[in-house]
Amino acid sequence: MEQRTEIASLGEFGLIDHLTRNNETKNVSTVLGVGDDGAVVDHFGRQTVISTDLLLEGVHFDLMYTPLKHLGYKSVVVNLSDIYAMNATPTQVVLSIGVSNRFSVEALEEFYEGVYAACEKYGVDLVGGDTTSSRIGFIISVTAIGEVAPDAYVKRDGARVNDLICVSGDLGAAFLGLTILEREKKIFQETGAQPDLENRAYIVGRLLKPEARKDVIEYFAEHGIVPTSMMDVSDGLSSDILHICKQSNVGCVLYEDKLPINEESKDFAYKLELDPTACALSGGEDYELLFTVNQQDYEKINANNGFSIIGYITEASAGKTIITRGGNKHELVAQGWNHLK
């Protein structure tokens, strides 16, 4: 039988020591890491970028189908994605958790395995955090710290008329992964039947183990591209491009036939009688980078087949629209994820 160590047997400081006993630093900017009242970070004249996320059980994740190791990995990655969306390089993370006594030390070790795997892959240091007891399920708070050359950070408010609208990777897969997992959870609860994920490894993986687009930021640096605006696609493409338009005081035109949708996503969407375009526009949790660039950068963007040019920026008075495959123009509506509803 699997060993189960009660959290109470270690106490709070014992638990922190236990979970961080093999933590090693990788960045010279990390002067002092875990174990004191505060971490010390020195970015040597570069600018510091900070972002934080709160993940709540039952709102942002469901432990019925989310392995703890994947959850640890994703908790870090979704924060790093925000740092990359500022055109910055993440260097440190701070992680706090609230747990109930239904979790064992072994379960938390599994969660931290995912945390450390993400830190390792993206070259960031875990430099602190807090643990507390929770009466309402598992609570995770992650703060990511990054660095960027002075004034090279990219905000949401810099899009200009005639800029190209671009996106990395493909869209809609995470939403479809969530759809299949939720369907199988319901069937399991009602009948006890074992889940059948139909070999949909790609779309399920896009939800449970997303990646942050470090490679995109590296490509920008290599090719001298500085986007005029940028954000990561977490709430759905339509919501996110509307954020950029609002903050930049511009309009946009998107083309339905330019939206990047993976073949497996299309296939599964059709099977469910869903519109793949709707999944791409409103799905969310893709963690791709949505950015605008000056038309002078067209060749550099076009040379990377991991990018799609999906439209262009217009005057605010022209509105925010999408042109369908049939050539009709529709107003873009934000139907993305709204966790406050």
Q: Can you give the residue ranges of every domain in the chain?
A: 7-148, 164-331
What residues have CB less than 8 Å from 87, skipping those under 6 apart? 148, 152, 153, 154, 217, 220, 226, 227, 230
CA 25 – CA 40 distance, rounded (Å): 12
Domains 7-148 and 164-331 fall in the same CATH topology: no
Spatial CB neighbours of 112, under 8 Å, sequence gap ≥ 6: 19, 72
Which residues, other chains included, contact 102 with Cβ-Cβ below 8 Å and sequence gap of 6+?
A: none
Instruction: Give the span between the Cα atoms of 205 and 161, in whole angstroms.
Output: 37
Spatial contact of 150 and 108, defined as CB atoms under 8 Å apart: no
pLDDT tens for the 341 residues of the chain, in order: 778 888 888 877 788 788 888 888 888 888 887 776 777 878 888 889 999 999 999 999 999 999 999 999 999 999 999 999 999 999 999 999 999 989 999 999 999 999 999 999 999 999 999 999 999 899 999 999 999 988 889 999 999 999 999 999 999 999 999 999 999 999 999 999 988 888 899 999 999 999 999 999 999 999 999 999 999 999 999 999 999 999 999 999 999 999 999 999 999 999 999 999 999 999 999 999 999 999 999 999 999 999 999 999 999 999 999 999 999 999 998 875 544 34
3-state secondary structure of 68: helix
CATH, domain range 164-331: 3.90.650.10
Question: 225: Cβ–Cβ under 8 A, 6 or more apart, which residues?
Answer: 219, 293, 297, 300, 301
Residues 223-234: b if buried by 16+ CB within 10 A, e if exposed: eebbbbbbbbbb
**pTM for the full model?**
0.91
CATH class of the domain at 7-148: alpha beta
Query: Amino acid identity, residue 180?
Result: I
